Amino acid sequence: MITPPEQVPLDRAFFDRPVLDIAPDLLGRTLVRTTDQGPVTLRLTEVEAYDGPNDPGSHAYRGRTDRNAVMFGPPGHTYVYFTYGMWFCLNLVCGPEGTPSGVLLRGGEITTGADLARAHRPASRKDSDLAQGPARLATALAVDRALNGADACGPDGPLRILTGTPPPPALVRTGPRTGVGGAGAGHPWRYWIDGDPTVSPYRAHAPRKRR
């Protein structure tokens, strides 16, 4: 049986490139999350690039730590972190090994396994917001730190990235990253598919008030 082109896994060479080339190229790709209950698939509609030591907004800007060590490993693996004491976020490691860049998966359309995604996110009001935002995306796909370092290029891993169907270039938009402040605030490294209802609203960085 011949595998349809859109269902072919992206190989490691796809991720072994500059992160600013990879991020917009991930739009329209298919993310497959395999769970014990069954698969959930998602079409990526929104991402953000983080360029390691060249980017004050990156977790790897100040060097390697136990938390970000996966980012310094081979490309095509997942970097999962916990934020605000409540949420997980899912990233894909990019660039050659030792170059800690990555792409945050910010939003997508659940294409199969919607019942499972709803069970993971029972507070969701409609299917278009099941994975609208990085925390929602990770929750809908049952992503946690156990998946940190998973090989997204493997043939049968818990997370895989398939070729999917990239959007026409005219529909790809770029702008400032959501919630990033300081020296990284001005980077237009957020990419999304124009007009897609699963893209999350943009929010500028709001400094936390000290109590």
Instruction: For residue range 88-118, list pLDDT tens digits in order.
Output: 999 999 999 999 999 999 999 999 999 999 9
pLDDT of residue 207: 65
Question: CA 154 to CA 47: how far, in whole Å?
Answer: 21
The domain limits of the chain are: 5-193
pLDDT of residue 134: 97
Neighbours of 6 (CB within 10 A): 13
pLDDT of residue 200: 96
- Band (3; pLDDT cuts 50, 70, 90): confident
Of the candidates 48, 177, 172, 51, the residue with the CA atom closest to the CA atom of residue 107: 48
Using the predicted structure, report yes or no on whether residue 205 has a pLDDT greater than 80: no
Neighbours of 177 (CB within 10 A): 24
Output the average pLDDT for the chain.
Answer: 94
- Higher-confidence position of 115 and 184: 115
Question: CA dist 69 to 24, 139, 179, Å?
Answer: 24, 23, 23
Residue located via tokens 């659940």: 110
pTM: 0.94
Question: CA 45 to CA 72: how far, in whole Å?
Answer: 26
Tokens at 137, concatenated? 């995306």
Asked whether 57 and 177 are in contact (CB, 8 A), the reply is yes
Summarize the confidence of residues 176-198 as an average pLDDT: 93
Question: CA 56 to CA 98: how far, in whole Å?
Answer: 18
Q: Which CATH number fits domain 5-193: 3.10.300.10, 3.40.50.1820, 2.40.50.100, 3.40.640.10?
A: 3.10.300.10
pLDDT of residue 208: 60
